[in-house]
Each structure stands twice: as C-alpha cells, then as structure tokens.
Structure 1
Amino acid sequence: MAHVLVVRTIEKDAEKLNDVIISHFSKQTDTALDSLKTNMINMLNSSNLTSLLRTVDDSRENQQRTEQLHSLREQLMKLQSDKLVSKVFLYFVNHDLVVDVDIYTDKEYYFDFSYPLDEQQRKAYMSYFTGKKMMDFTDPSTIGMSALMSYPFNSDKPDVYLVVDFAEDKVQEQISIPEKWVTGTAIASSQGLIMNQVGLTDKEAKAVMERTHANSKGSQFLITNEVAMSLVKSSFDDSWYYVTIADLRTLMKPAYITRVISWAFLVFFLVVGSFVSYYLSRRVYRPIKEITEENKELSQRVSGMFPILQELFVTKILLGEYRDALSIEYYAKEIEFIYNKNAMRTVLCIAFHYNSPAYEQLSETSKSFLFMELKERIVKSSPSLIWLCQTKPDVMACVVLHDPFLHFGAEEAANIVSLLLEQYSEYFKATIGIGKTVNATEELHESYKLALSVLQNRGLDSDVEICRGPNVWDRTQWESFLSVQDVNRIFNQFKTREYDKLLQSAFDMLEVGIRKNATAIQAKYLCTDVLNTWIRAVETEHNDFNVPFFSDLFERLNRCMTWDELKVCFQDIHSVLFRTEEPDQRAKQFSEILDYIHAHYNEELSIEYFAGLLNMSNGHFSRTFKEEVGEKYVEYIAKYRLMKAKQFLLETDMKIDDIAEKVGYWGRNSFIRTFRKYEGITPAKYRTINH
C-alpha cells in the first residue's frame, strides 16, 4: 500500500510540476512575442509612412523625404534593439525601395549585398510579400525565422511590409528551460514545421513534427519509452505548440527510488520480522509526510486562485463565450463554482468615469484596493447572492439573483449600488444600466448586452444615474446636429474674428440641452459637430496643428461625463484653436529650443518632438524654424554637431568612431559623409591639416 500510494503521488506531482514549468515557459515566450508584435504595430502607426509614400518616387532633392527617412531609420533601430531581433527592414511593394537601420536603397542592391540571398531563396522570400500580414512567419527551414507585418493594416494590397529577423541564439535562449529533466525544447507549428528548437535529436524532432501536425487538442502529455513529450498550445499563435522533451528517468527518479526501497523493505520485513518492520515503517513514513505537506501547500495555493478563476468564468458567461448549459456546468465543477441552474437573474452594468484629480493621484495599488473595497461593500449590502466581475477597464458587471421572499430584484439592487457609489463621487462618476431578467444562466449574455446598450441613454448630471430599459429619444425635441445656418454662422464669426461669440454660442447650445434634459449621446453628437466645424474653420486659414492633435481633442471631448466638463472642455479647446500668439512669445519658444539643441546635440533630435511641443505640423515647424533662426532645422543641427566635432578633432586624440558617437551620429560612415558635405574633406584629413 505504501508503494502504490507514494509512487502514484510522486508521478502525479512530477506531471503537475512539468505542466507548471511548460506553462510558465509558454507564457513567458508568448509575452515576449506579444511585446514584439505590439512594438511592430506601434512603429508602423507612428512612422509617417503615408506621407513618405507620397514623396518616395520624387527624383528631385526633397528635404522632407530625407528627414522622414532619417526618422524612419531611427524608429527601426529602436525596434531592432529588442533582444529577440537581429535585423529589421521595410520592404516597399509599389516602390523600388528597402529601408533598414543602416541604409535605404533599391531592392536589387539590398538583396545582393546588404541582405544577400541566392536565387532560390530570393524567389521563396519574395512570395511572402503578398496579401495582408499580421505578424506572419516565414519557413525557418529555408531562410530562417522572420516575421512580416503589412501596412496599411486592413488592406489586402498593402504598400509596405515590415520584416523582423529573429536572432536564433536569443530565441533559443528564450525557450530554454534550465531544469535537469528537460532535455530539449522547441516551438513547432501545426503544419509540421519546427520554428526553433534546443537540444532535440533528429528522432525527437521528427516525432515532434508528426505529433504537432496531427494534434488538434490544446495540450497533451505523451509518454513514450523513456521520454515524455509535452505539447502546449500557444496563446500568441493558434497554430503553434510549445514542446518540451523530458527525461523520465530524471523526472521520475523519486518514484524509481521509492519503488526499489519498497521492494527491499518487503523482503527485509519477511526476513527480519515484525521488530525491524516497525522500525523501517517509521522511516518510510517520513518522506510520505513531506510529500503530503507539499501537496497541501500546493492545494492551498490553487484554492487561493479560485476566486479569480470564478470571476473570469462569470465574465466569459456575460461575454457570450459559454452559451449552453452543459459547458457551463462542466467548467463550474472544474473551479468549484456553485450556482443554481434555473433562477431569475438580472445583470447590472456599472460604467465608471475616471476624470477626477483625486483618482489620478492614487497609486495603482490604491486603485486596486479601492475597487476591492467597493466590491466587498456591494456584496455585503445585498440580501441576496451577487456575482461581480470586471468586463472592461471602465465597466463592472453585477449579476443579481432575485429573491421572491425578500422581494429583492434588479431595481432594489440598483438602488443599493447607487447609494454606495455616491460615497465614491470624489474619485469617479458612475452610471448603472439595468438589463433584462433571464431565467437561465446561459442567457445572461443577453441581459448583459441590454444593460450595456441602455448605458447609452445616460444623461450628463453629476450624480449617480440609473438607466432603466430602452429610451428612444425624440430628435425633434432637440436637434443634435448643426444646421447649415449654424455652420455658416460659425464660419462668419471666425472670419470676422469674433472668437468670444464662438464660445458663447457653444455654451448657449449646451444650456438648451440642459433645459431639455438631453441624453449624453445627443450632447456628444452636437458637441462633436461643433468641434468639427471649428477645426474646419481653423484649417481654412492655416494648418498649425497635426492630425494626432485633433484626434486628442475629440478623445478629450468624448471623455466628458457632465455638462460642466463639456463647458470646461470647450473653453480649453477654444483657447488653443483661436489663440493669438505674440511675436515675442514665438521668439522665446525658439530660443528655448536652440538652448535644448545645444545641450543635447549628441542625442536624438527629431523634428516630430519639437513640432509636438508647439502643437505644429512638421512642415509648419520647419518653415517657422527657418524664419526665426535663418537656417533649415536639419542643417542647423548638422552644422552645430560638426562644430563640436571639429573641437574634438583638434583638442583631443579621440578616434573618429568615438567622435561620431559623441556628437550624435549612429555610425562612422554617416558622420564622414556629413562632414565631407559641409567641409569638403574627411575628418581625418581635417585633423591632419590643422594640427
């Protein structure tokens, strides 16, 4: 009995330990790949590729294009600094251009010298540059492991592909598991390809390809003669599996030792007798106790995770991922979630608006405790069972169980929650939407969907508001869009510089909405229309602002949750769009920019940074810089860096490479090329002549 109990316990613990290790390994790798994917998307979003594509084929000298290419290469360099990445470049589909961190050139030259491929490899490589790609991977058996992403993202015929080559040694380092029993790890796809592997023999690699190609389950633990193969499906890519090869002799060593000891103990017991049997039984009991304590500790840890799993389970039900009673019952048993299958329930959706200075001053830990306290008070204040879960960052769902004996339902729960939320008014404004009542758990997603939709009927009062059911607002009661006359009036007021009337007319419209008790969606439609008309009026005379700036204005307007916030928002936007700038103020701004350039000439000085500080487009900033300083922005920085470089050449014995880095150039060649352009000779010759 001791033999059976101990061996089986150790085998189960060994399998659980292996599962924990591979789960951690897969999550860590998925996180690294997700981070890289996010960086690729962010790079393409902020790379100004659209404006570059308009000038890339222009054969004339184009300063803007040069600046854009320089900025693009700096962004590529940031992406290439990722620990898993060895090389990054941009492939332009409709233009004869490839750009990487060191060079931008035509495709023939690039794939002959900078990224050499033979004819067969190039043919295979070019086949990937078709269609929409959202981080698709190449076949690692032919040209290495690379990821491709297309831009624009939603186009089936993209203009640009971002290509990231993975550093094989870094990927192997990422997927390596330092445990003694793990002899090999790999990333394999369901197409039977091994994306990367460490420590696999040819026989094991072949077995991995066969298993992953035929496998349709999420995870498996397969035991062969003396090895165990674990397959875990990747959350980053559904077609990937993380594979570990474990040496069963090492992994199950405690079980083998225990088995030998058990048989030896049995023989010894028969020979020596009851006295020796009693003595040895006490010694065998000690490891059993240690194993039991370890299992008890592991069980306590798992039990501590049940509340989190149960909240996630309720979230999935509300989002409609579990819609049949059988699957809900099965998963509920897995996480010890007890519920009544058929009972009347209603979903309340609580939408939060975090726009209070008091809330922003809280740390992330304090914010978490704040919501934990709110959840605990809601549960304690309710006479009936309530499930709580966070379905969105700003939405909390509350599932109310109706109690006919206490006459407790959705309305009563909403009133209780409303009173509790009023105590947190210094941190946020909240709106409660009441969904429909359902009789089965699998129908809760319908109640949740309706509760979300009725939130659209909220008003703009500062108190906690309860929205009850559909409310089709009458558009004849308050027109939510500007008429043609209103638009013409705004344009006329702008042309005659009656800026105060522009703001006052916006305030008058909001006052009408307050008197007619307009809903938030009505007010947002009208305010968006007013802001859009203001922007169109401003753009008729000048284009000092860029698209991201206008986008921020609309986002700020959309975040307003009360009438007072809308008024303050319009007042701030009015002061920015219709401000009058004094010449002395502009001169002071550019004087501060020059001081910053002189102090940080050895760092990255992108035109986008300074244009953003002054709320200008890149082109407008470049023109204003030349008017105020007398030189183009790029030429001024280049000349100032060369002035510093000449000081280092004459006053120090520093190497050319060190001087190039010290004055803000990424490489020796770029520094020498710029020096020769402005001085007519190389840095080395300049040092020789003037020494």
Structure 2
Amino acid sequence: MFPLPKLKSLRANLFWRHFANYFVLILIPVIVASMLAHVLVVRLIEEDARKLSDVIMSQFTKQADTELNTLKTNMINMLSMSSIRSLQKEQARDSSLDNTERSEMIHGLRKQLIKLQADELVSKAYLIFPQHDLVIDAETYTSKSYYFNLQHPLSQQDQNQLFSRLAGKKMMDFLPAQGQDLPALMSYPFNSDTPDAYLVVNLNGSRLQQLIDVKQEWAAGTAILGREGQVLRQAGGESAWDVIPRELLSAISGQNSLFNVAGDKAVSLVPSTFDDSWSYLSVIDLNTLMKPAHITRLVSWMFLLFFLVVGSIVSYYLSRRIYKPIMEIKEGLACQSNQITQAGSRNDFDVIKRYSKLILTENQQLSQRVNGMTPIVHEHFLTKVLQGQFRDPLSIETYAQEIGFSYNRKPARTVLCVAFHVEPMFTVLSESSKSFLMTELKERMCALVPLELWLCQSKPDMLAVIMHHDPFLQMSPEECADILKLALQLYSQYFKATIGVGSTVHHLEELHQSYEQGFSVLQRRRLHSGVEICSAASHPEAPYDSFLSLQDINRMLNQVQSREYDKVLHTALQTLDQGAAANATALQIKQHCTDMLNTWIRAVEHERKDFDVLYYAGLFEEMNRCMTMEELKTTLGSIHALLFPLQEPADEKPQKFADIVAYIHEHYDQELSIEHFAGTLNMSVGHFSRTFKEEVGEKYVEYLARYRLMKAKELLRETDLRIDDIAGKVGYWGRNSFIRMFRKYEGITPAKYRMLHQ
C-alpha cells in the first residue's frame, strides 16, 4: 500500500511497512486535527487574552487619570480663591511680622492648604514665594532656609532641583521624586511669566502605587512613564523590571501597543488622558496570561504523541509475529557457525550467502596482513644475509621465493653502513616517534639516490644501505655516500652519523663481506662534528699508540702527588692535540683518554681512601658519549675539576665546616642532605663525612639528629604542640620517624619525655 525502499533487516522492513500503513490511515488525520487546534483554538484564546489585558489596563488608567484631574482642579480652585496677590502687595509694602492683616491672610492660606492636604493623594502641600524669603504650609510659615533644612528637610540636590524649576509658568508640572513622594508644581497667577507664588503638592507614593496597581495574576508590575521614558512611579516586584532595558522605555514612550521584551515577559502601554506626555505601562507575565493557550497546545501534542506510541507498539507486535519463523531459521544456522551472525549485513535472507563469502573475506584480510608484514620480513631476510647466515646461493634463492623477495643475483652491489650516535633530543622521543623518524629518513634516502636501494636496520644503532650499481649512471659508492650525507644532515638535531663504505661484490651471497668491511672502517672515524664518510682508501689506519706508556703514567702520578693539577690537565689536552695531529681515530683517542682517567682515579683514591664505583662509572660513560674533539676536551676539563678541586688554605676548611654547622642551626627544620653539602665542597659523600667528623667531632648524620632532638625537647617542655606538629617543625616528615629517632637517642618516647618534664 505504501512502498518503501528495501531495507537490510527484514524485521525493520516489516515494522516500517506496518507503521507506514498506520501513518497514512490514522496518524495523518490526527496530525491535521492537532494543527487545526493550534491554528484556530489556540490563536482565538491568545487573542481573547490580549483583549482582556487591554480592557483592564484602560479601566485602571482611567481611574488614575480621574483622581489626578480632580487633584489638578482642586489646586486651581485653591489658587483662584486664595489671597496670594493681596499678601504679595502687603509683603512688598510692609515686611513687619506684627502686621495683623498680613497674619490673617497667611492664616487663610494655611486653611486652604489644610483643605487641599486632606486629599488621600496628597501627603504635603506648601506655597513658595520666589520674590520673598517665605514658605507657607498647613502648619507654619517661615523662611526658605529654615523650612527646607529643619521643618521640611530636603537634600541639597533636591533643593537645587526645586529652586531651578521655580521660573515661568507651571501647570501641574512634576519634579523628580523626593523619597516616596512625587512633587507637582503649579504657578500663580496662571498666565504670568513671573508668578507671585508656586504651589507645591507632594503626591503620596503609597496612594499613587495603589492607583496604578493592577490586581491580576498576569500583571507582574505597573508604572507611570514620563515624557522621556523615565519611571515616575512603579508598583510590583523589582524582578519584574529587571528584564526591561531602560533604553527601551525611552523608545516606546507615548505609544499604545504590546511589546515583547523577554521570553516570558511583555509590556503594555496606554497613553494618559491626564498628561499627553505620560504613559501607563504594565509588565505582563505571558506564561500566566497565555496559560489556557499553553494547556490547549500541550493537550494536542500529548494527543498526537499518544497515537504515535500506539502505532509504534502495534507495528512492532505485528512485525514480530511475522518475523518469528524466520528468526527460528536464523538461530538454527547460528548453532552451526557463530561467525554467521558476526560478519556481513543484517539481512536474514542473505545469511547463507554471507556464510559463503565469509571464508573469502577472511582470506583477503589475512592476505592484507601478510602484505603489510612483507617489508619487515624482507628487511629481516637482508639482515641475515648481511650477517652471513645465508652464504650459499641455493639457500638464499629458496628463502627468497618463500617470502616473495625478487632479486637479480648478478648486479654489483656495495653495502654502506650508517652508524647513528643519538643526541639527547632523540632519547626523549617515544618509540612510535622514533619509528616514524627512521621511516621518514629511509624514504628520504630512497628519494634522493637515483639508484635502487635496499635498506635494513642490522643493529639498533646501525642502518645498512645496499646500493645497486647501474652501468648507465656510473655512480661510485663514495658519490652515493655523499648523497646519503645530505639526507643525514637534515636530522643532525636527533643524531650524528658516520657512513662506512664497504667493498663492492658481484653476488648476493657475498654481501656479508661488503658489510663486514663497511663495519670495520667505521672504527676509523675521527672526532669530527659533521657526518663523516669512512672508507678503506680515505681512512687508512694511523700508526698511533692508543695506550699510555709507563713513563707517562708515572709522570701524571708525580704531578698529582706534587699538587700540580694544572699540569695534569695540560698534559691530557696536549695528548689529545698530538692524537689529532697524528690523524688518530676516535677509538684510539678515547682509549688513550680511558687510560688517563684510570690514572687520575687511581691517584685520587690513593689520596682520599674513598672509592665510589657508580660515580666513577658515570665519568667513563660521560667521556664515551663525546663525538667531537671539543666535546672531549670540555668533558676532560669538567672531570678534572671534579677530581682535582682547587686546594684551599688550611685555615679555610674549618671555616667552611663552621658555615655548614651555622646553616644547620638556622635551617634544621628543612631537608638537609649530605649529598648537597658534599657537592658544594666538591667531595664525595664518604670523604665529606670523614672530614666533617675530624673538624666537628661527630658524624654529620648524628650531629644533625642530636641538634634536631635538642630543639624538639625544648618544644616538648615549653609548648603544648602536638607530636605531629613538633615533628614537622624540627625537620621530620612523619610522626613515626620522629618517635623512632627520639627513642633511639633518648631511650623514651616524646610523650613520655613531656610527661616527665611538665
């Protein structure tokens, strides 16, 4: 009835076909009904809610405008019936306070102010005479300074704002709010630019809030907006106004409409009939106002979801009943081979076909793995050939056929042995990074050399490059080595290298001879900084004696005994220069240096009676790592400085140990290792310990422990600190080690000591 594309899973195919029929027959009418409910019912409810909001807002604004108009009329009537003009003339003619007529006029004005102040909307009413220093209210009349500072206190800012507005005609003009009150200003005479008096009426803030407060659940807050959008008075919680930007109030002032300001808040504006520049604003909670619409929308969605779930359950039930026989067949096949359900597609009708293809797939995967391992197997084969494990043509041919290694037996070949001397940067790399770096180097070599190359890593620090001679290119092994040198120089930051050129052979079974010669000429390398190419022709063996003579050894020992340490180093460096001048190999020069270092160590041990195997082994290792003459000279200089430190005057040694003792007294709470102090004096640990005991009278470890325990006993006697805190203050990392040391020297625990001495 409803065509669907063929799916891989039969169960899914059956389910979607049943669900498609349900969708067309039942679900589409339900969706149409839900959409009609959204379009018609929900929109009608929303429109009615908006109209209700507008009607209620109009009613409460009309009520507020009526009371304000009434107050304005009362203010006009009060000023019209007052005797302000007569009082003004009397004040100008006679300013005496004892004038009876003037007092009666003021009394009459006070009665009128009392009557005006009886209005619930008015909290305070008073008259200000701008041309005279006079203020009259319902209770008294006095000077302006006294009135606004003591009688009716106003801040200096409010006074300045009030007096700045006492100019020109005013007809119910509103001033900035003073606390809870909103002052309104009216001048008299009404049409005069230089009024005789100003009537100031403070509108009661609480009463004004009651007028503008809308008692509806959807009204979060109401306010009166001024000419420029400023809020003259507001009612409602402060949170209702946090969502309204102040610049929006200025932009929408004077308009009559509904504006959305946040996801669930809107503002409604109604212009005031009392003052054209005013607007009544109401913050509307849309969630409350549109609650009936939201409920209707939720019901329609739940109605649609209900039918969707029912359709899915019915479709799944029907498809499972139809699929059950097919599933039984599939489980039976799975018992024969578990791999059937683990490979291939999910179409149950293709299970048998998939089983037949499974063997082919496994064979292809195995073939791919073998192909990926082929370069490694070939390299392993070449390594065995170079090491001489395959020396007859038949065994080489048989093994090459087994691993698929094709070669021509007759062309001439030369083995170039590349020995690597790694730098510190190479040692910190991970094994994966080292493998990628070596692979990149091999690819670069093959790309630069225009001949066929076989590459294999015969040793961890050696790469064998088998060069195939081409009769057309006529490239010699030395020229090929020069090209390899360019490739190796690009990786000088990771390792230094030496290239040994072997002999040229004409059969594959003779490659081990070329490899052995290339490896042997590597021993003839010199102490150069760059990549060096060694061959039998260019690097003949130098007639150089690499061992010290007995005479040289005795001379060095005599120099050490006579404290001529500078001559010891000078003799060693002179020997290196002689070796370089004689074109000696690096191996010969290092053997000579090894003999010199052995002589130095023997002389030092004879004097100090102290032998540290690990320390001296590190010196030999450091010397063997040197690859250039400069490195070797620098290393010998540093070793000489360690073994033969400058001798200090006899009176300086006790002073240095006195400084160490003073340092212990000041920093006994810190970690003070004997290795640190021995290093500062260029001594071994054993030599330092013996010298410390000779100078101080006690071993270093015992002296430090006794001084710390002396400080600990003071803290135990004089303070109430916990044992853990005291252990930390005297340099022990833990409570247990402190107690163990205390018991060793004092015979009791710290707690017992404190109990005995307190």
Question: TM-score, normalized by length of structure 1?
Answer: 0.49
Which has the larger Rg? 2
